[in-house]
Amino acid sequence: MTTAVSAQAQPAADHADTQALLDSYQVGAGPGAAVHAGNRVGSWDLHSGTADTGAKRPIGPNDQFRIASQTKTFAAVVVLQLVDEGKVELDAPIERYLPGVVAGNGYDGNKISVRQILQHTSGIARDVTNAKANPDGTYSLRELVRAGLTKPPQFAPGAGWGYSNVDYLVIGMLIEQITGMPAGDAITARIIKPLGLTRTAYPRAGDRRLDDPYLPGYLGGRVGPFFLWTNATFAVELSKFATAGAMASTEQDMTAFDQALADGKLVSPAMLAQMRTTVPMPGLPANMGYGLGLWRLDLSCGGQAWGHFGDLLTGHSSGTFATDDGRHAALVTNGYLLVSNAGGTKREQVVDSALCGTPVG
């Protein structure tokens, strides 16, 4: 169903600067948007627009949604844990662990390291467009990787930076090879359950459900002063994105995850330092860098925050970041624009404002 919704914002008394940015962002982002932010003492929430085009309500911090590429940080953490355990070497060629997988069409797994795959400096093609589905409509990691590698490399290994979902499908295969279990089970056993993230889940193939309360997702674009939105919440087979973007979570759970990572609860100090060794991301602002499944955001108030952004055709766009002094901020909108909001308020501006507007605690 397609619904027209007026692009008007909701006012808020507290955190006025962040509310103004959130309202501006929501006008070009989705039917609704929300921020969940705070420090070690407590959290606060801001809202703009509506969570549901059919029933006016604000987006809640416990609403479940598809976190898309924020999944990559979970997958990267598992690999870094395996490095801590001596089961994987960051600078070893991927061929050592997945013989014959990254090969042909200009690829040589002997020349591409695990680190390069985690950091998007492998040169592996960005997306999968021609994978063959299983008879039940689901996808296997091996088939997704095979299909992704039918596209030529973006550049020679180590010669540049190029975002690649295929990189993290290869990472999923690596996790399965080393742990002997499905990648989602490894993420659940190693991260979700130990941290008590009860609203976070890696879906089984074919399972498109979200748990109540959940955030509907919409695809859309602007027509004059209105957006036209089409509900896409359950339109995507999530196994097609797997370790590159299939997971579901909430703003509350995501801030708990990012803060636990920043606090050193998931990997060793040495591995956290490796995750935070960043390279520039061409085409993006200079105050950002990419590490090993981790995005660096230099804050306008000084210091850095660490996290990831994510976008999925289920109609969810989000980002979560945390600092070493205990501040955290999650942003989500229930829209995926088919026409870009170029020139509008950027989500990193909203996150920066939320983090800089939160006292250290």
Bridge partners of residue 222, in order along the sequence: 227
Query: Quick one: DSSP state of residue 131?
Result: P
- Residues with Cβ within 8 Å of 155's Cβ and at least 6 positions away in sequence, in order, are 123, 162
Give the ranges where the chain is alpha helix by DSSP (H): 16-27, 71-84, 114-119, 141-148, 165-179, 183-187, 193-195, 242-245, 251-262, 269-275, 347-356
69 is catalytic: yes
Contact 332, 214 (CB under 8 A): no
Taking the C-alpha atoms of residue 227 and residue 129, their distance in angstroms, rounded to an integer, is 28
Taking the C-alpha atoms of residue 359 and residue 361, their distance in angstroms, rounded to an integer, is 6
Place of tokens 């990559």: 72
Please give the span between the terminal C-alpha atoms of the chain, in angstroms, as a whole number.
45
Catalytic residue among 24, 43, 48, 69: 69
Taking the C-alpha atoms of residue 327 and residue 309, their distance in angstroms, rounded to an integer, is 17
Residues identified as active-site: 69
